[in-house]
Amino acid sequence: MKAIAIDGPVGVGKSTTARLVAKKLGMAHIDTGAMYRAVALYQIENELDMHDADSLEKSLAQIEIEIKNVSGEQKIFLNKRDVTEKIRTQEVSEGASVVAPNPRVREKLVAAQREMAAAGGVVMDGRDIGSHVLPDAGLKIYLDAPTEVRARRRLLDIEAAGKSASFEQVLAETITRDDRDKNRKHNPLVQAPDALCIDTSIFSCPDETADKIIKIFLDIN
């Protein structure tokens, strides 16, 4: 079965939607953002500079990242250690956004992503999946929503995790991360020409977005 590629900006609900689509269609979910987060976590834990290209290149030689589906849930392992929870902090989010533009980091992670997709039957989400990683995906979806809507959703997630932040702070971070994703030199976030754009702000929850994607997928298969 051909892959489903789901791309879009920060806070649009890609990973939750992709997980639901994969679950309902019995496919494997690969959240590629988690891989960039794992690289950032390695730099943080080893007190290495996120911005230093030489340091990142050395780290890449030491890093092994694996994604496994355990009871339908994605687990991510950094050098054999389960870091699924550890990569969800604000510090790692910020770090991932800094390491993601590095071409060596992208080269290594994109190669691993293509290898994982080779077996078929995957729903892969990220920023460059339809445009670069899997140009032959069977279905390409670009999820979008206005910046304020995405910032509001991220704030709710932060609060649900028992933490606090101001809307202005989350909005500013969303704008900065969008800017890094869209304006980087290597594989920036763009809608692939053959991707279908869905504005998720018209849906009240990721389940509705997932159902829409599943309907499109079943119609063309």
Three-point CA angle 75, 182, 65, nearest 5°: 25
- Least separation in angstroms between residue 7's CB and ligand DC is 8
Residue 65: closest CA among 106, 104, 34, 99: 34
Residue among 100 and 213 whose Cβ is closer to ligand DC: 100
Q: Does 128 participate in binding ligand DC (rule CB under 6 A)?
A: yes
E strands, the chain, in order: 4-7, 28-31, 65-70, 73-78, 81-82, 122-126, 139-144, 196-199
Q: Does 181 participate in binding ligand DC (rule CB under 6 A)?
A: yes
Q: Which two tokens stand for residue 119?
A: 């077996």
Strand order in the sheet with 81-82: 65-70, 73-78, 81-82
Residues in contact with ligand DC, counted by CB under 6 A, come to a total of 15
CA 75, CA 68: separation in Å to the nearest integer? 5
Q: Does 33 participate in binding ligand DC (rule CB under 6 A)?
A: yes
- Least separation in angstroms between residue 219's CB and ligand DC is 26
- Least separation in angstroms between residue 137's CB and ligand DC is 13
Residue among 27 and 38 whose Cβ is closer to ligand DC: 38
Q: Does 36 participate in binding ligand DC (rule CB under 6 A)?
A: yes
Q: Which two tokens stand for residue 38?
A: 């794992």
Among 19, 29, 140, 177, interactor with ligand DC by CB under 6 A: 177
CA 161, CA 125: separation in Å to the nearest integer? 23
Amino acid letter, residue 105: V
Q: Sign (positive/negative) of CA torsion 4, 10, 15, 20?
A: negative
Contacts of 172 (CB under 8 A, 6+ apart): none
Site map 85..124 versus ligand DC, x via CB under 6 A: --------x--xx--x------------------------
- Least separation in angstroms between residue 95's CB and ligand DC is 9
Q: Does 212 participate in binding ligand DC (rule CB under 6 A)?
A: no
Q: Does 127 participate in binding ligand DC (rule CB under 6 A)?
A: yes
Q: Does 42 participate in binding ligand DC (rule CB under 6 A)?
A: no
Residue among 128 and 155 whose Cβ is closer to ligand DC: 128
Q: Does 37 participate in binding ligand DC (rule CB under 6 A)?
A: yes
Binding-site ranges for ligand DC (CB under 6 A): 10, 32-33, 36-37, 93, 96-97, 100, 126-129, 177, 181
